[in-house]
Structure 1
């Protein structure tokens, strides 16, 4: 089989196609003949910085869709030939992918394999940010950083479906602003001035919920943009800054709170909770509440160009790799 592998960390050029024997599932696993793989910013960080990479060589890729090839011992409820989406710890950029059965999800009716590949990391994350962790209530306002990305696209639509009173986004370019305004956002602000813009848009009140994958100074300014009893949910540190800590002075006076979420960490620590979350999230697609556009796709052999596009921070929506030759 073909797979994308890196022998050293660096730019997109370190991604190379290799030939390997198809892996066989161990107990509790399935092997999937992958048709599509999602491209995520975590893959870019793994390639460039070693994020979550225990050792080299390393095969990136966290989400795939395809058909089950073989089933390991003890696996129930999954069968050979079944169309599924899967969240994997790594190795998704390959023709055959191993996945723990607990993170393999049979596709609901009317959900095609190409669309399914966009969902395993993005949709459960967005659902958790809006509902399980963010606890958005009808009529409340929400601000989403990275509004034109995959998670931002889904979160804006989920917030709207939940009855949010106002859905604000934060982006870095005019093109991203235009995209976000077409996918559920009422108003879009720029990264450098979002805190001031929030106060303007809300008459000085602030927003009830902020979703922040950036960290660093962005998180600090976000706290200043929260309403009384507002919540901020951190789900990444794309800035690469040292973690910024908040305590009694920042939180107590106005009853603000900070939460956090990682779909990959949840998969490791509470797979049953992840399965229930993902099943709830997938229903929102079947019900027409969420649509995640694929804005670019690349053949597996062109993974480097997919990483180049995502690394330049100009992409919107979701990027996919097409696995079959």
Structure 2
């Protein structure tokens, strides 16, 4: 089997393709011949040494894949060899073969190509947990989605539209036409506009009901201040810690220092809620994740959700995929193909 290995912390040049013996599935596991693997910003943070959960180098990152089951271990009864699946991997996804617990593999909707299937699990689960479970988004509410052009941002827009919510999205100007076509009602160029002033103008000074913020640092506090009464902020990333291709502990520390600590009395007095979301720490919560995943699969089969793939790269060009993400040029998901 082939794996793309991060040999040390650093720039996208640290990837190396290596050959390893093909693993065999154990009790309750399936082996998947990977056709496509999703790339997430958490992978970038791991490459830079800024993701505490990641293994130490040499390591293989990657949270999600799509492909075909070619072997299964004892005790697997619901999946079979030849089944086309999408799966959550929790590292190890940058490979042409993976072994995962059968409970983390799901029959892939036939309507999706391999790249679209690999683009779905992490982004849509994250967005669904944020909007539907934590924020309990209701019809006619207003959602502010930061980084609306990213994979989670596009997924969140689609899910918010299913709840008939109004969507405000922040993104670079060249992404605005695409985001409007996805259903974003109001797009703000965060590079040149005063985001807070624009949000207040759009909401007539009231603020927004739900905010999804993957940026971190000072952005968390700015987002909190834009919440309407009974508003909910969901924080799920720290992309401000990695503005460049190379590792900078100083920049990461600046982002961390700028991260606010929320005062319980302020939350009470202002009738606001603040949530933190880390999908990677929910792997064992199948009872919580399974109903959401089944709902997402149903919506994907029905065409009411459509993964947007910004660009695909061959597996051996994982470094170029990371460069593309860090250039902030992607509209939708970046995917590796085998």
Question: If the length of structure 1 is used for normalisation, what is the TM-score?
Answer: 0.94
CA distance in 1, matches of 2:102, 2:288: 14
Q: Is the 8 A contact 2:127 2:155 kept in 1?
A: yes
Could you say what secondary structure the match of 2:239 adopts?
coil
CA distance in 1, matches of 2:42, 2:235: 15
Offset at residue 56 of structure 1 (A): 2.2
Offset at residue 109 of structure 1 (A): 4.3
- Does 1:220 pair with 2:221? yes
Q: Is the 8 A contact 2:38 2:64 kept in 1?
A: yes
Structure 2 unmatched runs, 5+: 242-254
Structure 1 unmatched runs, 5+: none
Offset at residue 249 of structure 1 (A): 4.2
- Does 1:185 pair with 2:184? yes
Report the more deviating stretch, 227-236 or 184-193: 184-193
Judging changes above 3 Å, is the alpha-carbon distance between structure 1 residues 250 and 135 closer, same or farther for their aligned structure 2 residues? same
Could you say what secondary structure the match of 2:182 adopts?
coil
Match of 1:254 among 270, 292, 296: 270
Structure 1 match to 2:307:
292
Structure 1 match to 2:47:
47
Q: Deviations over 1:208-249 (max 9, x none)?
A: 111111122111011111111111111112223224211234
Give the 5 Å matches for 1:77-92: 77-92=78-93
Q: Deviations over 1:168-208 (max 9, x none)?
A: 0012x211233222211011123362222111111100011
Could you say what secondary structure the match of 1:130 adopts?
helix
Structure 2 match to 1:202:
203
Give the 5 Å matches for 1:149-160: 149-160=150-161
CA distance in 1, matches of 2:204, 2:124: 32
Q: Is the 8 A contact 2:3 2:17 kept in 1?
A: yes
Structure 1 match to 2:326:
311
Structure 2 match to 1:168:
168
Aligned length: 320
Structure 1 match to 2:295:
280
Structure 2 match to 1:144:
145
Q: Is the 8 A contact 1:66 1:85 kept in 2?
A: yes
Structure 2 match to 1:37:
37
Structure 2 match to 1:103:
104
CA distance in 2, matches of 1:71, 1:272: 23
Structure 1 stretches of 4+ moved >3 Å: none
Q: Is the 8 A contact 1:143 1:169 kept in 2?
A: yes
Coordinate RMSD, CA, aligned: 1.5
Question: If the length of structure 2 is used for normalisation, what is the TM-score?
Answer: 0.91
Q: Is the 8 A contact 1:123 1:282 kept in 2?
A: no
Could you say what secondary structure the match of 1:176 adopts?
helix
CA distance in 2, matches of 1:234, 1:202: 21
